[in-house]
Amino acid sequence: MTQIHAPMQQGKLQNYNSGRGAQAYKADYQNKLHRKLSDRRERALLLRYFAEIGHVGTMLDLPCGHGRLADLLQAQCDHLIEADWSFTMVSLNQRDHGAREDIGPAARRYMRCSALQIPLPDRSVDSVVSFRLSHHLESQELRELHLRELFRVARRSVIVTWFSATSLKNRLRQVRVALGNKKPKNVLRNDRVRAIAAEAGYDERFAKPLFLIGSGHMLGLFLRRGKS
């Protein structure tokens, strides 16, 4: 397996692809207060962003995980593609969300793939959503490749999270790194994200922090310039 297909540390990948790891990740959002608060904030921002985008025909959710956001995303589009590197996550997602008589069998599809090499043509889906992957990618090169792939396959809009280099949480982490008791975070500078978007023909519409204190994640909405 190449770096493109396995961009994270091997231990993380094995856990994420295991049945135990997938179930534990799902349980975190059901049982842990900080996860519940994060989920609530993410959903509020997503609804705000989709009010700007409007209803779309096709949407890609990558990585989809166990389908935490699947029903919210499905309400914003006609056809939703749930994709993830982990076979186990895709299977868990499909088990929990695949049988939906009210939306029909063609409205939701499932796919196993890497977010660094998406097997879709350029501008093949209206919108792409990619939550909580960037900060797991081990190099700046891979984090930027992830962004470029999202902008490549999207026709109208991209919603993506990244760990901001200028966030309070990262500045505090840098102090601990200097003291020698922590590893650096996998971050991106906000202006670098905007620059990569601009190269792909996108403008930043929103970039909101998940929380000002306690989280370094940014949630950005990028819209393609002009007509697609």
Residue pLDDT, tens place only, 67-85: 999 999 999 999 999 999 9
pLDDT the model gives residue 6: 47
What is the helix (H) or strand (E) element at residue 23, kind and residue range?
A: helix 19-31
Q: What is the pTM of this model?
A: 0.90
pLDDT the model gives residue 2: 45
- pLDDT averaged over the chain? 89
pLDDT the model gives residue 5: 45
Of 61, 66, 62, 63, the closest CA to residue 25 belongs to 66
Q: Say how far apart CA 6 and CA 188 lie, in whole Å.
A: 20
Of 16, 5, 31, 200, the closest CA to residue 115 belongs to 5
CB atoms within 10 A of CB 228: 11
Of 161, 162, 85, the closest CA to residue 117 belongs to 85
**pLDDT (average), residues 201-222:** 95
Classify 138 as helix, strand or coil.
coil
pLDDT digits 0-9 by tens, 99-114 = 554 555 558 999 999 9
Instruction: Walk me through the domains of the chain, giving residue ranges and CATH numbers.
Output: 55-224 (3.40.50.150)
DSSP lists the bridge partners of residue 154 as 125
- 204 versus 226: which is more confidently predicted? 204
Which range is least confidently modeled, 93-107, 123-137, 183-197?
93-107
**pLDDT (average), residues 174-180:** 92
Say if residues 188 and 194 touch (Cβ distance below 8 Å): no
Q: Using a pLDDT cut of 90, give the percent of the chain over it.
A: 75
pLDDT the model gives residue 1: 37
